[in-house]
Amino acid sequence: MKDWDRLITVEQMEEATASLLENAEKVGADTWQQRSKNQSPHCGFGEAGTCCRICSMGPCRITPKAPRGICGCDVHGIVGRNYLRFTAGGTATHSDHGREIMHTLHQTREGGNYQVKDPEKLIRIAKEWGVETEGKDIYDLAHEMAEIGLMEYGKPFGHQKFTDRAHPHTQELWDKADLRPRAIDREVVQSLHMTHMGCSSEAEALIHQSIRSGLADGWGGSMMGTEFSDVMFGTPKVMDTEANIGVMDKDMVNIIVHGHDPSLSEMIVHYAQDPEMIALAKSVGAKGINIAGVCCTANEVAMRHGIPMAGNFLNQENVVLTGACEAIVVDIQCIFPALGPLSKCFHTKFITTSDIARIPDSEFYRFSAETAGENAKAIVKMAVENFVNRKPELVNIPNQKTKARVGYAVETIKKTLDGVCNTHVDEMGTLKPLADVVKAGVLRGAVAMVGCNNPKVRPDTAHIELMKKMLKNDIIVVVTGCSAQAAAKAGLMDPDAKEFCGEGLKRVCELVGIPPVLHMGSCVDISRMMILASDLAKDWGCNISQLPLCGCAPEWMSEKAVSIGNYVVGTGINTYLGVDPYSKGSSEVTELLQGETGVKQWCEANYTVELDIEKLGDLMIEDIEAKRAALGI
């Protein structure tokens, strides 16, 4: 089948990047393409997970001649410990993002910088948590919920409240295997404690804690981050935006927001629309102020304000290389330290804002919930005033831009289905129409595509090629994180991309008015996917692990991605990786993650690691068809 002709191909994106790399050469800038070459080949011990530097007797590296570390730990203990530490890093990171959101919720005030924009959602969650809502001022309720939410991090007893939302069968599995996460900080701290020298070296115990730590992220910290961001900034609704590097505008002041925490980007977006700031932009010769996003911040502001998405993880240097970026404003996570020296080669201001992410060669502007308004205004002003320092001879904005329809929160998906199928059952709606089209075979199933880019994989190829393959096979794709931007940049979130699908999926897209790839948000919003899977199984009348559904992170790179993978398999969804998680050095760890014992036995799902993307896609389709056959559909 011929590709849909409005698709922007990976080759075209690479041409755009090549022209930007010419800019890099002109100014003598360093880029990840070069650094990646400098770092190759990678250390074989590190890649296999068989190097231990947890104490100072080593580092110990496991070889056939030296099968144990100095303490006597074998390869399975070393690989398992490394895997658990990797997971704990991811759980801590996502969950601390969630914690910041809860602190911001505590700062909400009527008419303040932060307000409650979705009071119904706040009340719904309060009722779910058994909090009295009757006659309470909405801000008093917000503050009470913030305090209860913050206690989820350190409460001495009990389990994560949001785990009660999961499908009853999933909860039973968690309880049976002792996997239901307790306080979030406890799971992270226990992971570090277990992996300290002289504690756990049994692979099974280490992988068990990896899954529980992941679940504390997905059904704890990330879910709080998502749900209470919706409460404060609004639950995403369907909106149209644009994507790819061409969303930058040579006649405007371009401010790029990058990172994860919407508390910053919401304020920047707000002040970029301030008439005083727009007048200032015009006074320095620009036509106005253009905000665009990179990485998960792009997802956050796209799905709530329709702000365009300039690119994903490996495009963060590209936005500076255009020579038209007045400021790149970052908060936390996935920010290249390289942006410091790179921005110095141009007129770009690299503005860091969080004590969590302090980076050399940046201008640090501490951003806090209490002073958010004045901080954001000062940052926007600084960017606008920097427009005059632009060097016109360096401006090169590749002309690549696509349309994207975004904003499919679970609530939005249910409402969209309600609108078409007239099946409204309660205020939350139902996923029954979706279950029905899958049962009927019009759709064969669904894939949740998530995760980063990684120079080990030709950037965006795996995301885009796998999505195309799924769509052609009538498998709907839901996306978050940098996978979402890969889809958007290519044009796969344009409703017209239905032309690119198999007949069944095309019909559904036409009937419901959706693009074939549904944007569900940022990395923390993978928690939305867990709720979607859980609710779908409830409406279907089966268990999550029986659904023709799988997860996929074909180009992942961060610790957060491993934590995510652990909660996705921990929720009963088979997960397909295109990059190895540093576990291949141990047959025991590999079996626990990818075999029939371990996570498969505890949670009815496991990982598949396959570096050949074509094969990875075939395996997912086989999995979906096998699930259908087992259900007799």
In the complex, which residues of this chain contact ligand MSK (CB under 6 A)?
Answer: 260, 295-296, 312-313, 334, 451-452, 481-482, 522-523, 558, 560-561
Cβ 593 to ligand MSK, closest distance in Å? 20
**Pair 572, 543: CB distance under 8 Å:** yes
- The full DSSP string for 545-574 is GGSSEEEEETT--SHHHHHHHHHHHHTT--
85, 331, 351, 352, 497 from 358: Cα distances, Å: 22, 9, 10, 7, 41
Q: How far is the CB of 455 from ligand MSK (least distance, A)?
A: 12
In angstroms, give the least distance from the CB of 565 to ligand MSK: 12
Collapsed DSSP state (helix, strand, coil) of residue 576: strand
> From the CB of 453, what's the least distance to ligand MSK, in Å?
7
Nearer to ligand MSK, 113 or 558 (CB): 558
Distance separating alpha carbons of residues 71 and 426, to the nearest angstrom: 59
Choose between 537 and 561: whose C-beta lies nearer to ligand MSK: 561
Q: Which amino acid is at 5?
A: D
Minimum separation from the CB atom of position 407 to ligand MSK (A): 17
CB of 297 to ligand MSK, least distance (A): 8
Q: For residue 33, count other CB atoms closer than 10 A to its CB.
A: 15
The three-state (H, E, C) secondary structure of 347-412, written as one string: CCEEEECCCCCCCCCCEECCCCHHHHHHHHHHHHHHHHHHHHHCCHHHCCCCCCCEEEEECCCHHH
Residue 291's SS3 state is strand
Of 99 and 169, nearer to ligand MSK (C-beta) is 99
Mapping DSSP to helix (H, G, I), strand (E, B) and coil, where does residue 520 land? coil
Q: Do 107 and 116 meet the contact criterion of CB atoms below 8 Å apart?
A: no
Contacts of 134 (CB under 8 A, 6+ apart): none
- Closest contact distance (angstroms) between CB of 559 and ligand MSK is 9
Residue whose CB is less far from ligand MSK, 354 or 558: 558
* Tokens linked to 152: 């989820």
CB of residue 43 to ligand MSK, shortest distance in Å: 22
Q: Give the nearest distance from C-beta 557 to ligand MSK in angstroms.
A: 6
Residue 14 CB partners (closer than 8 Å, separation 6+): none
Query: Residue 330 and residue 66: Cα distance in Å, rounded?
Result: 45
> How near is the Cβ of 588 to ligand MSK at its closest, in Å?
28
Q: Among residues 331 and 474, whose Cβ is nearest to ligand MSK?
A: 331
* Smallest separation (angstroms) from ligand MSK to the CB of 558: 4
Q: Rank residues 280 and 294 by Cβ distance to ligand MSK and give the closer one.
A: 294
Q: Which is nearer to ligand MSK, 23 or 454 (CB)?
A: 454
Give 226's Cβ-side CA count (13 Å radius): 31
Select 258 or 432, whichever has its Cβ closest to ligand MSK.
258
For ligand MSK, which is the closer residue by CB, 452 or 603?
A: 452
Q: How far apart are CA 481 and CA 594, in angstroms?
A: 24
Sheet of 239-243: strands edge to edge?
363-364, 349-352, 327-330, 253-258, 289-294, 309-311, 239-243, 402-406
Instruction: Give the whole-angstrom CA distance, residue 122 versus residue 127.
Output: 9
Q: Can you tell me which residue has the tokens 């259900």? A: 631
Which of residues 263 and 522 has its CB atom nearest to ligand MSK in the complex?
Answer: 522
> What span, in angstroms and rounded, lies between the C-alpha atoms of 223 and 83?
23
Nearest Cα neighbor of 431 from 348, 541, 341, 338 is: 541
Closer by beta carbon to ligand MSK, 386 or else 480: 480
CB of 168 to ligand MSK, least distance (A): 31
Please, which residue, 449 or 475, has the CB nearer to ligand MSK?
Answer: 449
Dihedral of the alpha carbons of 312, 315, 317, 320, in degrees to the nearest 10: -90
